[in-house]
């Protein structure tokens, strides 16, 4: 009896060791991916793949997705599923624009976050106090929020502008490091392998960087520190894993869930502010375009962890911004995907997983063929990339994903078993 | 539940029916009525704050909605919302949240419009083909969700959201272009599929206020079928059991995985039909301006109507009449957008109201059972008291 169990244990241990993403491995993986991208750029001449403009665009599109996802992280780590991120983001866009219009950009940031937090508070009242199904409440908020902002926009902006758009808003400050930007642009122009690529990436980081991007980065690091390195974070996460146990240890579960969901709303609201004040300079109805949902997808892609979420948001932002930069860049990306799949096939072959290797190889060949046979990729197909990736990740890696254990389960005080 | 312990004595049985039913009905009706009243109150406060007269708004809504042309509009709109509500409700009864109705109906309507416009068939046959294609496409799109759930354990909410985007901003946006499956509509900026000939228009009932869509019959039949299948067939029983406890269903021999895929297919098939009345009565082609958002309205009316065919019918009529009133309100200086606030507030407050009522009912039931047990055993032991509470 005991021998097979031991073998099983050993096997599972070996599996978990080989499958675990340690920091050196992760760095190796990322640099490998970057090198592949650089090689494709040099090979195809699609210089937009790593241009400062593309990377800047990626940051611009990744930040709102990332902020929404970060909001989702807070809520779901405390055990409350937040489909309402989209609605909270919409509240953020209106209140951000309204505050900015009246009292300047910083008031916009504060009011936008407050607006989102208000949506979070409503979600908390409905799910935590009344114990309603989290998804139902989230969807209800997504129905209510655009109705409220639509009414308010009509009331406030319509008499001034004549439509439900806000007047042009004053921008937030941006950061430029003098001297370095032109120098990096010079290097980028030479199109040297790897060096110019890195110059492009760095160039995006030092040229016209919005202060909100910096704030978002601080919030990501801060969230990691708060949730994983402090007693407060441990208690908050324990509410998402096993609220009954936390309750028995004297944690006020309701209070932690309230805090988490309100913070969640505020972060989604900040994502909305970003859309209004950095991505554009006006408020419009329907400006979020489902980014709250993509944030949720990035959260799942990132396995409910800060680092993974950042990678997911970056990836979705990258595909989104490629779409804006003309089709030959996207076309080159097909080759990059083929190279990536080839790498996966080789890795599977080395691990003696022949069926998987065959599948990856066939997929790689298909992408390479697609690259060779066509000249461009329709923008509509590119725009679906985040959703397809999320579905594929969910379908093939869901065993590795580990959401918080009590995520989405209504919790009643004093009735735990 | 009422029939489980029915005695052999018919009189006792009927009194039991009367007693329990009344309480349940009262509680069931109380929640949506309270939610609608609450939404009215919130709206009145919003109007007062923005300096408008709430009494005038409410009298507007009531007086305008009873005009004949308004009534026809409400019936036609209500038909669509009713079908959307049923599609969502069948999922809810199974404890599946089909948030993907939005994508399913648009895929169904788009491909049905394309096939219907391209094939040259005699009138009735063309209509049948359109309906079949819409149902099949909707069911397929929802089937992906079901298969992903049972084979890979993917949560249906997340996958349906992803599929909504893939359907609308990917597939339809890609195909709905001149040179692909659509063409520029002469005389407007719209890009549409080929326009259906008049022989493919669905029948209507003429009335004072304009034509009432023949699809209202199909919607009503769907409602009847929904009720009969769920409450009178083995399949419906299995479906409801799986919804309440998949463990119990499994133990009683239900193949839960098969049940999930079947429920998603049915829900998606019904969702595929939602766009068809618009196609056969109003637009006759699928274009850039084809209405969107009905999937989410379906969720709203299913929640308000509590997944019950009669409840959903009332809810969809309410929704349609609020929509209609929105047009009139602008004439009296109100903003149309106030209707959205009424509807949104109804959705949020109705889910809270149902949960409160459900818990209140549960508590009442527990107390009653506790009292009965105590009366039976004369002096109940402490354990029993605790269990009853």
Complex prediction ipTM? 0.85
Q: CA–CA separation, A88 vs A74, rounded Å?
A: 14
Q: Answer yes or no: is A56 within a domain.
A: yes
CATH number at residue A256: 1.10.3470
pLDDT in tens, A239-251: 999 999 999 999 9
The kind and range of the H/E element at A174 are strand A174-175
Round to whole Å and give the CA distance between B27 and A200.
65
- Mean pLDDT of the region B302-311: 92
Please tell me which of the candidates A133, A140, A381 has its beta carbon nearest to residue B348. Answer: A140
Assess contact for A153 and A94: CB atoms under 8 A.
Answer: yes
Name the band, by pLDDT with cuts 50, 70 and 90, for residue A416: low
- When mean pLDDT is compared across A153-162, A249-258, B229-238, B377-386, the lowest value belongs to B377-386
Would residue A266 count as lying in a domain? yes
Number of CB pairs, chain A paired with chain B, less than 8 A apart: 119
Mean pLDDT computed over every residue of chain A: 83
Q: Are A297 and A390 in contact (CB under 8 A)?
A: yes
- State the smallest CA–CA distance between residue B149 and chain A in angstroms: 9
**B299 with A139: Cβ contact below 8 A:** yes
Does residue B145 surpass a pLDDT of 90?
yes
Residues of B in contact with A147 (CB under 8 A): 337, 340-341, 343-344
Which residues share a beta bridge with B213? B204
A14 falls within a domain: no
Number of folded domains in chain A? 1
The predicted structure's pLDDT at residue B386? 55
The more confidently predicted of residues A332 and B349 is B349
Cα–Cα nearest to A108, from A100, A120, A117, A119: A100
Burial B219-249 (b: 16+ CB within 10 A, else e): beebbeebeebbeeeeebbbbebbbeebeeb
Is A340 among the domain residues?
A: no
Is residue A2's pLDDT more than 80?
no
Q: What is the pLDDT of residues B55-101, one digit of tens each?
A: 888 887 777 777 888 899 999 999 999 999 999 999 999 989 999 99
The first and second tokens of residue B242, run together, are: 């799986």
Looking at the predicted structure, is the pLDDT value of residue A52 above 50? yes
Which residue does chain B place closest to A140, by CA atoms? Answer: B348
Note whether B292 and B98 are within 8 A (CB): no
- Residues with Cβ within 8 Å of A104's Cβ and at least 6 positions away in sequence, in order, are A170
Tens-digit pLDDT profile for residues A13-44: 444 444 455 677 777 777 777 777 777 777 77
Place of tokens 């866009």: A93
Structural domain includes residue A222: yes
Mean pLDDT of B294-312: 93
pLDDT given for residue B17 in this prediction: 53
Query: Does B385 have pLDDT greater than 70?
Result: no
- The residue ranking higher by pLDDT, A374 or B146, is B146
Q: How many CB atoms lie within 10 A of CB A141?
A: 28
pLDDT exceeds cutoff 90 at A72: yes
* Chain B residues whose beta carbon lies within 8 Å of the beta carbon of residue A151: 46, 335, 337-338, 340-341
Question: What does the pLDDT read at residue B109?
Answer: 96
Contact list in B for residue A119 (CB cut-off 8 A) is none
Strands B191-192 and B183-184: antiparallel
Nearest CB to A398: which of B152, B157, B352?
B152
CB-hemisphere CA count at 13 Å for B181? 20
> Among partner residues A141, A293, A388, which is closest to B161 by beta-carbon distance?
A293
Contact between A380 and A287 under an 8 Å Cβ cutoff? The reply is no
What's the confidence (pLDDT) of residue A179?
Answer: 66
Q: By C-alpha distance, which of A319, A316, A323, A291 is closest to A302?
A: A316
d(CA A300, CA A407): 12
Torsion of CA B275, B276, B277, B281, to 10 degrees: 110
Q: Do A143 and B344 touch (CB under 8 A)?
A: yes
With helix as H, strand as E and coil as C, how does B233-274 read?
CHHHHHHHHHHHCHHHHHHCCCCHHHHHHHHHHHHHHHHHHC
Q: Tokens 């394309």 sit at which residue?
A: B114
- Bridge partners for B183 per DSSP: B192
Which helix (H) or strand (E) is A281 found in, with range?
none
**N-terminal to C-terminal alpha carbon distance within chain B:** 20
- Nearest-by-CA chain A residue for B163: A387
Structure tokens at A177: 């490091």
Q: Can you say how many angstroms the Cα of residue B124 is from the centroid of all Cα atoms in its chain? A: 28
Encoding tokens for residue B142?
């929802």
Measured between beta carbons, the chain A residues lying within 8 angstroms of B160 are: none
Q: Which residue has the higher pLDDT, B266 or A184?
A: B266
Residue A379 counted as domain residue: no
Structural domain boundaries enclosing A69: 46-305
Domain assignment present for A7? no
Eight-class DSSP state of A49: G
Task: Tell me the backbone φ, ψ of residue B205, rounded to 5 degrees.
Answer: -100, 130
The alpha carbon of residue A118 and the mean position of all alpha carbons in its chain are separated, in whole angstroms, by 22
Exposed, middle or buried, B270 (CB in 10 Å: 0-12/13-18/19+)?
buried
Res. A259: pLDDT tops 90: yes
Chain A partners within 8 Å of B174 (Cβ): 378, 380-381
Residues whose CB is less than 8 angstroms from the CB of residue B188 and which lie 6 or more positions away in sequence, other chains included: none
Which residue in chain A is spatially nearest to B350 when comparing CA positions? A140
CA distance A327 to A12: 45
pLDDT for position B83: 97
Any idea which residue has 């146990």 for tokens? A245
| The pLDDT of residue A38 | 77
Chain B, nearest residue to A387 by Cα: B162
Structure tokens at A193: 């392998």
Choose the weakest-confidence range: A217-226, A399-408, B38-47: A399-408
pLDDT at A326: 60
Which of A132, A143, A296, A376 should one mutate to test binding to chain B, selecting the residue with the greatest count of B CBs within 10 A?
A143
Question: For all residues of chain B together, what is the average pLDDT?
Answer: 87
The structure tokens listed for B280 are 């056969």
DSSP state string for B47-83: HHHTT--HHHHHHHHHHHHTSHHHHHHHHHHHHHHHH
Residue B200 near residue B214 (C-beta atoms within 8 A): no
Helices then strands, counting H and E runs in chain B, come out as: 16, 4
The per-residue pLDDT for A109 is: 95
Look at residues A308, A371, A336 and name the one whose alpha carbon lies nearest to residue A49.
A336
Among B95, B102, B166, the residue to mutate for chain A (most A Cβ within 10 A) = B166
pLDDT of res. A325? 64
Give me the residue from B97, B169, B300 closest to A384, CB to CB.
B169
Q: Is the pLDDT of residue B387 over 60?
A: no
Query: CA–CA separation, B309 vs B317, rounded Å?
Result: 12
Residue A332 maps to a domain? no
The C-alpha angle A368, A372, A376, rounded to 5 degrees, equals: 105
Which pairing describes strands B212-213 and B204-205: parallel, antiparallel, or unpaired? antiparallel
DSSP helix/strand/coil, A406 = coil
For the CA atoms of B352, B354, B356, B357, the dihedral, rounded to the nearest 10 degrees, stands at 160
How far is Cα of residue B367 from the mean position of the Cα atoms in its chain? Answer: 34
Q: What does the pLDDT read at residue A1?
A: 37
User: What is the structure's pLDDT at B19?
Assistant: 52
Distance CA A213, CA A209 (A): 7
Average pLDDT over residues A403-415: 86
Q: What confidence tens digit (pLDDT) does each residue in B330-369 have?
A: 777 788 888 888 899 999 999 999 888 888 888 888 888 9
Interface of A with B in 273-302 (CB under 8 A): 290, 293, 296-297, 300
């Amino acid at each position: 009896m005991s021998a097979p169990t031991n073998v099983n244990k050993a096997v599972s241990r070996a599996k978990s060791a080989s499958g675990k993403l340690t920091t050196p491995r992760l760095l190796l993986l990322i640099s490998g991916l970057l090198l592949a991208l650089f090689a494709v750029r040099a090979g195809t001449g699609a210089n937009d793949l790593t241009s400062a403009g593309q990377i800047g665009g990626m940051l611009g599109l990744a930040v709102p997705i990332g902020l929404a996802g970060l909001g989702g992280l807070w809520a779901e780590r405390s055990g409350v599923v937040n489909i309402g991120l989209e609605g909270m983001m919409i509240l953020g866009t209106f209140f951000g624009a309204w505050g900015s219009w009246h009292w300047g950009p910083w008031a916009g940031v504060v009011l936008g976050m407050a607006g989102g937090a208000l949506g979070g508070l409503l979600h908390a009242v409905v799910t935590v106090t009344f114990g309603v199904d989290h998804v139902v409440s989230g969807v209800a908020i997504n129905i209510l929020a655009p109705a409220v902002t639509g009414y308010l926009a009509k009331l406030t902006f319509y008499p001034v502008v004549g439509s439900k758009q806000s007047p042009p808003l004053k921008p937030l400050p941006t950061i430029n490091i003098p001297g370095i930007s032109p120098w990096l642009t010079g290097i980028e122009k030479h199109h040297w392998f790897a060096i110019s690529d890195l110059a492009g990436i760095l160039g995006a980081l030092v040229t016209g960087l919005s202060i909100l991007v910096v704030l978002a980065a601080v919030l990501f690091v801060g969230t990691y520190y708060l949730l994983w390195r402090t007693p407060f974070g441990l208690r908050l996460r324990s509410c998402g894993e096993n609220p009954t146990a936390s309750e028995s240890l004297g944690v006020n579960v309701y209070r932690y869930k309230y805090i988490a969901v309100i913070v969640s709303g505020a972060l989604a609201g900040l994502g909305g502010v970003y859309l209004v004040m950095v991505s554009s300079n006006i408020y419009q109805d329907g400006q979020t375009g489902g980014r709250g949902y993509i944030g949720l997808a990035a959260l799942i892609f990132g396995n409910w962890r800060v680092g993974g979420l950042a990678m997911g948001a970056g990836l979705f932002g990258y595909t989104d911004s490629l779409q804006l930069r003309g089709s030959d860049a996207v076309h080159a990306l097909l080759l990059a995907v083929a190279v990536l799949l080839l790498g996966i096939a080789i890795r599977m072959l080395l691990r003696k997983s022949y069926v998987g290797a065959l599948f990856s190889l066939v997929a790689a060949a298909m992408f390479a063929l697609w690259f060779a046979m066509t000249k461009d990729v329709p923008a509509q197909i590119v725009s679906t990339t985040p959703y397809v990736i999320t579905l594929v990740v969910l379908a093939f890696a869901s065993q590795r994903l580990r959401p918080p254990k009590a995520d989405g389960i209504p919790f009643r005080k004093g009735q735990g078993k | 539940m009422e029939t489980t312990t029915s005695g052999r004595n018919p009189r006792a049985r009927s009194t039991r029916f009367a007693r329990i039913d009344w309480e349940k009905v009262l509680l069931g009706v109380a929640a949506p009525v309270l939610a609608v009243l609450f939404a009215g109150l919130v709206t009145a406060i919003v109007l007062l704050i923005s300096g408008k007269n709430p009494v005038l708004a409410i009298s507007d809504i009531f007086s305008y909605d009873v005009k004949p042309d308004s009534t026809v509009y409400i019936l036609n709109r209500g038909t669509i919302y009713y079908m959307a509500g049923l599609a969502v409700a069948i999922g809810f009864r199974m404890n599946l949240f089909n948030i993907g109705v939005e994508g399913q109906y648009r895929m169904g309507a788009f491909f049905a419009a394309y096939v219907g416009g391209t094939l040259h068939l005699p009138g009735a046959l063309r209509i049948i083909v359109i309906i079949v294609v819409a149902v099949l496409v909707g069911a397929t799109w929802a089937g992906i969700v079901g298969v992903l759930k049972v084979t890979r354990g993917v949560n249906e909410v997340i996958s349906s959201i992803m599929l909504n985007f893939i359907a609308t901003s990917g597939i339809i946006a890609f195909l709905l272009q001149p040179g692909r499956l659509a063409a520029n509509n002469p005389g407007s900026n719209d890009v549409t599929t080929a326009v259906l000939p008049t022989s493919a228009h669905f029948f209507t009932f003429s009335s004072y206020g304009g034509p009432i869509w023949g699809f209202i019959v199909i919607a009503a039949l769907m409602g009847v079928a929904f009720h009969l299948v769920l409450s009178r067939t083995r399949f419906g029983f299995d479906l409801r059991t799986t919804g309440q406890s998949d463990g119990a269903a499994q133990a009683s021999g239900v193949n839960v995985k098969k049940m999930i895929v079947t429920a998603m297919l049915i829900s998606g098939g019904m969702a595929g039909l939602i766009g068809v009345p618009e196609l056969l009565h109003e637009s006759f082609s699928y274009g850039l301006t084809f209405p969107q958002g009905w999937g989410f309205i379906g969720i709203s009316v299913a929640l308000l109507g509590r997944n019950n065919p009669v409840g959903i019918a009332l809810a969809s009529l309410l929704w349609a009449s609020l929509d209609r009133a929105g047009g009139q309100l602008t004439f009296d200086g109100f903003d149309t957008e106030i209707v959205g606030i009424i509807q949104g507030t109804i959705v949020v407050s109705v889910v809270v109201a149902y949960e409160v009522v459900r818990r209140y009912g549960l508590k009442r039931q527990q107390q009653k059972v506790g009292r009965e047990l105590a009366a039976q055993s004369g002096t109940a032991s402490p354990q029993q008291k605790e269990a009853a509470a």
